């Protein structure tokens, strides 16, 4: 009898726990999604009307004018073009070089394996800092050029380690038989290791691609004077600062407010354009991200 009441007490406590937990997680999702959906709603709303506020998940006065404005701006078109280009070229280059480096470091019989590994691990902890790096790029002629986006950050010790951990976990038997057949190290890399590494290649490629797409600071620091190499994120950043300087909301009486668009709504539209590739691809690709995150956290 006593046991039963204890059990009932416990199941009641469990129920309360479940209810509270559900409320917490639903609130978490709402807080995560609401600002994103709100931005989408604002981007489809009439500019002057949006200044009044109170738009939540649905536009009050529907218009496509904000998007027309965004796509009529030359700097945004250029930015989008450069952003796509740097994402594609940067990802291909980073994948090829990191994979090759990871392969070299994963060769157990390689003479300088541990030295090469240490050489790269050090780069994770020590860096020259912003100013020496800027001066170096200037001296190398990388500033005011497209290549500053893809060459300097190409190899990263973290991505290399993720790939290396995966390669070291592969069964050695296939490789041994290829060696007996006379395949060299390059052949083994291309035709035996790489096909087996597709999952980890996908993971690293996605990390790099998202990083390339989202980065803005390099455009500001190195290519401020070269509008032909601007990126979408940097253009968005300029829009954000123009909104902030107006104190968040455009004053309806201010000059320029006669147009149907305001900085707030144009920025919302530009934000949606910038988010769109990530949001569209995200549901299909997220499992690769998770794989990478868990491989990367495996301790040596």
Site for other proteins in 88-147 (CB under 8 A): 97, 100-101, 104, 107, 109-112, 116, 119-120, 123, 125-136, 140
Instruction: Please name the residue ranges forming H helices in 215-262.
Output: 217-222, 232-245
Q: How many residues bind other proteins (CB under 8 A)?
A: 92
Near other proteins by CB under 8 A, which window of 49-57, 61-69, 164-172, 255-263? Answer: 49-57
Asked whether 200 and 162 are in contact (CB, 8 A), the reply is yes
Structure tokens given for 156: 């990263």
Place of tokens 């541990």: 114
Contact segment (CB under 8 A) with other proteins among 36-44, 63-71, 165-173, 254-262 equals: 36-44
Point out which span in 58-66, 69-77, 243-251, 255-263 binds other proteins (CB under 8 A): 243-251
Name the phi and psi angles at 45, rounded to 5: -100, 155
| The only residue of 2, 72, 171, 247 in contact with other proteins, by rule CB under 8 A | 247
Residue 71 in contact with other proteins, rule: CB under 8 A: no
Asked if 268 touches other proteins (CB under 8 A), the answer is yes
> Counting contacts by CB under 8 A, is residue 244 touching other proteins?
yes
Nearer to other proteins, 18 or 177 (CB): 18
Decide if residue 4 touches other proteins (CB under 8 A). Answer: no
Closest CA to 50 of 276, 254, 260: 260
CA 217 to the chain's CA centroid: 14
Q: How far apart are CA 27 and CA 206, in angstroms?
A: 29
Residues in Cβ contact with 169 at an 8 Å cutoff, skipping those fewer than 6 apart:
none
The distance of closest approach from Cβ of residue 223 to other proteins in the complex, given in angstroms and rounded to an integer, is 13
Could you give the 3-state DSSP secondary structure of residue 93?
Answer: helix
Site for other proteins in 172-211 (CB under 8 A): 184-186, 210
Contact region with other proteins (CB under 8 A), list: 46-54, 63-71, 74-82, 86-94:
46-54
8 A C-beta contact, residue 162 and residue 144? no
Q: Does 51 bind other proteins (CB under 8 A)?
A: yes
Q: Does 242 bind other proteins (CB under 8 A)?
A: no
Q: By CB under 8 A, which span of 28-36, 59-67, 87-95, 253-261 interacts with other proteins?
A: 28-36
The string of DSSP codes covering 202-221 is HHHHHHHHHHHHH--HHHHH
């Amino acid at each position: 009898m006593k046991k039963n009441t204890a059990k009932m007490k416990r199941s009641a406590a469990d129920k309360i726990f479940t209810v509270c937990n559900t409320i917490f997680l639903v609130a978490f999702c709402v807080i995560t999604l609401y600002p994103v959906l709100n931005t989408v709603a604002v981007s489809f709303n009439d500019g002057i009307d949006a200044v009044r506020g109170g738009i939540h998940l649905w536009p009050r006065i529907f218009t496509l004018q904000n998007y027309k404005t965004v796509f009529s701006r030359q700097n945004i078109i250029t930015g989008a073009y450069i952003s796509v280009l740097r994402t594609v070229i940067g990802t291909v280059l980073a994948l090829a070089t990191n994979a090759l480096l990871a392969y070299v470091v994963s060769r157990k019989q390689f003479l300088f394996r541990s030295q090469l590994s240490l050489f790269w691990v050090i780069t994770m902890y020590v860096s020259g800092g912003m100013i020496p790096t800027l001066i170096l790029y200037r001296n190398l002629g990388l500033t005011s050029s497209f290549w500053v986006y893809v060459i300097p950050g190409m190899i990263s010790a973290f991505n290399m380690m993720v790939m290396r951990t995966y390669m070291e976990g592969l069964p050695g038997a296939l490789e041994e038989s290829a060696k007996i057949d006379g395949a060299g190290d390059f052949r083994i890399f291309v035709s035996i290791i790489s096909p087996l590494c597709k999952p980890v290649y996908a993971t690293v490629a996605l990390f790099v691609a998202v990083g390339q797409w989202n980065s803005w600071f390099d455009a500001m620091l190195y290519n401020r004077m070269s509008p032909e190499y601007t990126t979408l994120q940097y253009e968005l950043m300029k829009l954000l600062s123009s909104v902030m300087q107006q104190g968040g909301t455009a004053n309806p009486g201010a000059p320029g407010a006669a147009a149907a668009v305001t900085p707030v709504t144009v920025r919302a539209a530009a934000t949606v354009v910038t988010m769109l590739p990530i949001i569209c691809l995200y549901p299909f690709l997220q499992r690769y991200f998770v794989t990478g995150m868990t491989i990367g956290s495996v301790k040596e």
